[in-house]
Amino acid sequence: MMWGKIALAMSAFAANSIFCRLALADRMIDPYSFSIIRIVSGVLALAVLLGSVEKLKPQRENWKGGLYLTGYILAFSVAYMQLDAGLGALLLFGTVQISMALYAVYKGEKVTWFRGIGLSVAFLGILLLFLPATHAPSLFYAFMMILAGLSWAGYSLIGMSTGQPIVMTYNNFIWAVPICLLLSLVRIPNLYIHWNGLALAIISGAFTSSLAYVLWYDLLKHLDRMTASTLQLSVPCLALLAGVIFLNETLSLRMLFATIMVLSGIGLLIFAGRKIAVVQQIAKK
């Protein structure tokens, strides 16, 4: 059951890369309109979900979550004006993995040999996907995706302490609406929307963002920071495979081998996490 939820969440994250890149690469919509519609669609979807869930206690609103969410979504959209789906996902979740792993070490989480090997294998697999790179991305767009990764890492870290994923996610999206609108005001003369871009933004916001983020927050209650960061390294692999299907990208043996490396690294990390949990339980007895 746990693995099924993880696979669903990671697939949704990869789908966001595909939807965003597809909409922006073909100039169906500008990145700011895409971001605003994505957030508003998420609010509406979560409002419907909250209306169908009983016995939820009210929770104090968290403006930091809204700020992290806005930073991630806006920077993510701007970056995908140029970056390919797979390369964008690499920069995004590579940044997430490094920042969350460093924070985990700072907070005193144990880095065993198995964890170290798993983390290294997964990250080397990610590097293998794009080394040597066929072309270097613009520094500005690469920086925007790195900023998105830092924001998503912050968003994930605050989610590890929530007891009500639905309410917390809803509050984050509510806060993100005015923040995103405010940051987009200067771009009003450059906004444009076509029907296909509108549809992709709505799907991304209502399904692969809001609902997937509720699932992610629910999963974070059962994961430590190191494991949560490394699990997300599967997303660039999924984005690459989806890019082959939907964006006509080329699939090579190197990509397949890199995918195996990443998934193997994740498996080692999960195994190490379970081993630590068993040792801790024995120690308590």
> What tens digit of pLDDT does each residue of 219-253 get?
998 888 878 887 888 898 888 888 888 888 767 77
Counting Cβ atoms within 10 Å, is residue 113 exposed (0-12), middle (13-18) or buried (19+)? exposed
The pLDDT value recorded for residue 280 is 46
Distance CA 165, CA 230 (A): 21
156's enclosing H/E stretch is: helix 139-159
Q: Which of 242, 279, 265 is nearest to 17 (CA)?
A: 242
Q: Which of 33, 1, 20, 52 is nearest to 211 (CA)?
A: 52
pTM value?
A: 0.85
pLDDT of 271 strictly over 80: no
pLDDT, tens only, 197-213: 999 999 999 999 999 99
5 found inside a domain: no
22 found inside a domain: yes
Parent domain of 202:
12-284
Per the CB < 8 A criterion, the answer to whether 34 and 209 are in contact is no
pLDDT of 273 strictly over 70: no
CA quadruple 257, 259, 263, 269: dihedral, nearest 10? 90
Distance CA 148, CA 92 (A): 6
Question: How far apart, in Å, are the Cα atoms of 86 and each of 126, 145, 241, 250, 284?
Answer: 10, 12, 8, 11, 44
139 found inside a domain: yes
3 found inside a domain: no
The pLDDT value recorded for residue 98 is 80
Per the CB < 8 A criterion, the answer to whether 148 and 209 are in contact is no
- CB atoms closer than 10 angstroms to residue 146: 19
The pLDDT value recorded for residue 281 is 45
7 found inside a domain: no
Task: Please give the tally of structural domains in the chain.
Answer: 1
The pLDDT value recorded for residue 279 is 40
Q: Name the pLDDT band for 56 (thresholds 50, 70, 90).
A: low
Task: Please indicate whether residue 55 or residue 125 has the higher confidence score (pLDDT).
Answer: 125
The pLDDT value recorded for residue 222 is 87
Q: What integer best gives the mean pLDDT of the chain? A: 84
The pLDDT value recorded for residue 91 is 82
Q: Which of 12, 88, 32 is nearest to 249 (CA)?
A: 88
The pLDDT value recorded for residue 137 is 59
The pLDDT value recorded for residue 201 is 97
Distance CA 61, CA 67 (A): 12
Per the CB < 8 A criterion, the answer to whether 16 and 208 are in contact is yes
In 3-state terms the chain splits into helix, strand, coil percentages (rounded to 5) of: 80, 0, 20
User: Rounded to the nearest 5°, which phi and psi values hold at 193?
Assistant: -140, 130
181 found inside a domain: yes
pLDDT of 154 strictly over 90: yes
The pLDDT value recorded for residue 61 is 62
4 found inside a domain: no
Taking residues 121-147, what's their average pLDDT?
75
Distance CA 37, CA 40 (A): 5
242 found inside a domain: yes
The pLDDT value recorded for residue 274 is 57
Q: Which residue, chain included where needed, has tokens 């801790």?
A: 280
Q: Which residue, chain included where needed, has tokens 């690499």?
A: 90
Task: Give me the percent of the chain exceeding a pLDDT of 70.
Answer: 87
